[in-house]
Structure 1
């Protein structure tokens, strides 16, 4: 499912003469340039058909493909484990099982997490479907912030007991934080009853979408037991439901990387869900003459991302590309290449957002800069907390205003002058506070792998 106009891929389980009105599994929009894998359990006692439906999007760049379809007896595997655990084969959990894979409610908090399907009980907050299936049939965990809940009430959900880790280990989960009064989601590692400081934290409205988080778990010298604790804190009003889904703890370092040449997808970057349109992967020229790059910057025959200024875009529409979470550092330098060519080029702006704070503009260029890739560079402000980078493209006065971006990277260079030296921002207002990324930055080379809890080939598992 790759392209700027991808529609939907739906999978139905048909037990009667008619296809159900609601799919069992669903994905929409571009999912990157590589094959992805999906699975779900089929729990029926009568003969059934599996129906796979592709839905065209709003343009020709929307091809959808499937391969290696397999149906096997038994429920779908929970996945591999990470070292010895009190719950073998349960180091992944999509909350489809009613026993929550061994997760348990904390008894020292104010209220409990709830397991549900479909929407939560309040409009304007919470998911409309789970993340695993992408439909109203899948389950997830959430905190219900309606009455009798009050601001700052706390609910904690404890994982099953794990041990170690004595080698690099990555915690992955999906979260949904949508509403005008979202509080805070904290994640802790507890050992011997002590939880210390959060290893991950997010506050405020993150948009009406599921987002992925990756967090490296600190290694220890021995196989000591520990638990992952999800703590949801109620915001100001009932519009503050927070949800989680598709938990996993896997061996190996988290794979996200800010450094990316876009030849194999967006790496750990993602498009914001609350802006006007998206950055699009492209190879060669854009769809309009007299504007945009003709090749990428990396090799001359690879890919880059760009904003397409043609209709239906209008003056002032913005597209925001959001980085992974980046650990705090005293000396951090952001490097990138940009292409701004055309008679009506708008603005390219870079924002810095510290965890828990509003974004701040740190770099800006506007108008045509010639038909060539230009180098951009800016020092990231000193921070004691994790932060993210937001690259925003703003459409100009007409279609002749495509803007390209390529070869983004970050390092700890001690010398990092502003390039060009005229790139001082002209605005001070922050974009919507919902533009926050979901993963944690690590140093490995860029990867196009998109985090997904559905591991193994695309197959349907039956419970007989």
Structure 2
């Protein structure tokens, strides 16, 4: 007899099904018309690390069980001290025309009450190999994922009216986020109330007076979570003061890699502002990081953090008059694009004004910040799904003896890139418009610029616009 291993993966619940059948088989399914499973057993693993330092990971194996049409374990299965619940499984003939048999499995968790129990169906076509003594063979084991995560994004949504919910301060920081209500103690910065219509609720904030130097940061992180589809993270922020530093959002993935996905620096104007980010399915937890430029007039606040799986419209259009819209600075590059208005600081290069000849903003690469020609500035869009070719336009200004390169490329999820646009050296003393046809596919757009030398090399872009078609959905 030969073992067959089925692996079902749920959010925080992993169930392995091991079965025996009563005949030999090989990866060649020709002529294989019948598959009888004579007994099965389950390994149920629970990952409850969403509870932070109080969480746990445990697993348990059931004894071998007769397959029957339907088996209901009336006695709950205990998975360490993490969870317990009944298990139901059913072996059914496959109907997809490819497989020989399928197994439906449901584990009823007693720890989570806010979602339906996860159920998964795994088809088996007789070609999957067994794990060998040195690990799994080359062929993948069958996998199945549940759309409705049992734990999912539990604990992320919080309006802070009853405290920080399941968010908690990162250990080792000498300054912390605090709960606030009404106005902060600094009358020159901070909100007058929370983001609610009445302003009478609570919010999180950093007190700039506690920051003795600009190198200090306060971090607060979410509980661990597990999502199976890209979702959106929304929050409101308040940054209005002469000494305001930087607010960053950091996504930490399951491999503990930190990625700065959003940041704002300096005064952003009075009132609360909303940010919406794509929460990808590799993210394990989220960090809000705040810092100050000065120890006064530098309070920063956040409020009403929420997560949604509903699609939303993404716009690539941006005039840069208020902010950089959905475009983000790449934290891993050497230089930054700056929102700028009026004449560029290098009188031998750069525009005198934005492309509309008004006092509006544009994006500027300051060539004098480049220490060598290999330093680059990158700004990227969210991932977008282009289902038919679309026309993208933007304006660029490249006029100086030491102008470097301006590139636009699309970057796929696996890191591969395809160049869509490039200009090098001096182009014109006036703004020029670029027309790009965006190919179909799922990718993000990246603007990349550099300077040949650190003088006479200011370069600018302005007024990005996507033409025609329906709105892009994220």
With the length of structure 1 as denominator, give the TM-score of the two structures: 0.45
The structure with more strand, counted as a fraction of residues = 2
Q: Which has the higher contact order (CA 8 A, sep 6+)?
A: 1
With the length of structure 2 as denominator, give the TM-score of the two structures: 0.44
